[in-house]
Amino acid sequence: MKKKIVFKTNVMICGVAAVAFLLATALSGYAGFMAAKVDSGQAADVLEMHGLAVAAGLLSVVLAVTLTVLIHTVYSYNRQVITLAQNWAREHQTLFEKATKELYDDIYELNVTRDRPANRATEDYFESLGVPNGAPFSAALALVAEKQIKKEFRQGYLDTFLPENVLRAYEKGREMLSYEFMISQDGEHYYWMRITARIVRWESDGSLHMLTYRQNIDAEKRREREIQKLVQTDEMTGLLTKTATERRISQMLREDQVCFYAFFILDIDDFKQVNDQYGHAFGDEIIRNFTQTLSRQFRKNDIIGRIGGDEFVVFVQAPDQDWARAKARQLVTALNKPCLSGDRSWHISASLGVAFSSARGNDYTNFYKTADRALYATKERGKNSFTFYE
């Protein structure tokens, strides 16, 4: 826009100066012509016409000099304007590149239509991984997946960015692609990365190019996990909440229906009396003490949740029913103990109900119903024991 304004200004100034110069030249020529035509007897008129010619000539010289100075001034001004515009453009580009580098780790460009890298930076990146110079982009993509990307994310990575899939996505009207995965530079220490890709058609040859922006999102993922953990965790005990417990068990069953599972329901015997006699603060101390003992009896990957005030669920993959029976006896013994806090004390005990996976269908609702019936039977027999649902 600035260049257009400068150009139009130059044209106007030069046009005015040229007209003035032509006018002065015409006057000078006319005066000389008239002086040549007069008779020798008209000396005064000759002198007058001669003076007019000289004046016109001087005016032509002045205008020519003025025009030269004016053109030089305009040229210098133009150079200053263009220099300022170029400096502004460079500064703008520098700021853009700086902002881009702050947001993204690397930016690469691929020619999707021709299945090859589209710039030197992309070629250098592929060569650093051992990709031969001139190899297709699709081959480089497979090597990146094998060498750097965690196994469970590899297929999704390829499905998103292989040339044929990118072309198919563009034909469906998609111009942006994104994929989040875990990547490692050494094959051991993985971190989360997000690739955002923009698909554009190159006007010069009609080919599709893909600009990929790589962004380290490991800190973002850690924050997400922390928030998710807070949402899913019971504040007092650190165990899973009721909703999170059901969700985790359902997910585990979806992933593997073949394994043998044991489902334990436990509650603290006579817990209401604790709150009535000593107050809720001591009741909370009983809950925390009970939770610590319960957690120590199971493995890290076993699912333990608090689904009510003093009601707990444990879901484990068990070798067989004999193992589950032995674990139930162990729990009753470990949870039968005194709890002391200041000058107050209470003897804790627990009642258990246990259900096993069966051929009738395994889901959270069936497990809960059958284990709850077994728990009720334990309480009917006098508490501080366990019952298996048969």
Question: According to the model, what pLDDT value does residue 71 have?
Answer: 61
Question: According to the model, what pLDDT value does residue 267 have?
Answer: 94
The CATH number of the domain where 304 resides is what?
Answer: 3.30.70.270
How many CB atoms sit inside 10 A of residue 157's CB?
21
Question: According to the model, what pLDDT value does residue 92 have?
Answer: 47
- If asked whether residues 179 and 265 sit together in one domain, one would say no
- If asked whether residues 193 and 116 sit together in one domain, one would say yes
Domain contains 224: no
The residue range of the domain holding 344 is 233-388
The parts of the chain modelled with pLDDT lower than 50 are: 1-7, 38-41, 43, 46-47, 89, 92-101, 103-104
Domain contains 225: no
Question: According to the model, what pLDDT value does residue 131 have?
Answer: 87
Nearest residue to 354 (alpha-carbon basis) of 306, 300, 382, 314:
314
How many domains does the chain divide into?
Answer: 3
The CATH number of the domain where 145 resides is what?
Answer: 3.30.450.20
- CA distances to 73, 222, 235, 369 from 245, rounded to whole Å, are 81, 21, 14, 15
Question: According to the model, what pLDDT value does residue 97 have?
Answer: 44
Question: According to the model, what pLDDT value does residue 204 have?
Answer: 86
- If asked whether residues 168 and 189 sit together in one domain, one would say yes
**Rounded-to-integer distance, Cα 78 and Cα 74, Å:** 6
SS3 category, 1: coil
pLDDT one-digit tens code per residue, 284-315: 999 999 999 999 999 988 999 999 999 999 99
**Rounded-to-integer distance, Cα 53 and Cα 48, Å:** 9
Question: According to the model, what pLDDT value does residue 14 have?
Answer: 54
- If asked whether residues 171 and 206 sit together in one domain, one would say yes
Q: Environment class of residue 126 by beta-carbon count within 10 Å: exposed (0-12), middle (13-18) or buried (19+)?
A: buried
- If asked whether residues 37 and 16 sit together in one domain, one would say yes
pLDDT one-digit tens code per residue, 317-337: 999 999 999 999 999 999 999
Question: According to the model, what pLDDT value does residue 84 have?
Answer: 60
How far is C-alpha 375 from the geometric centre of its chain's CA atoms?
A: 48
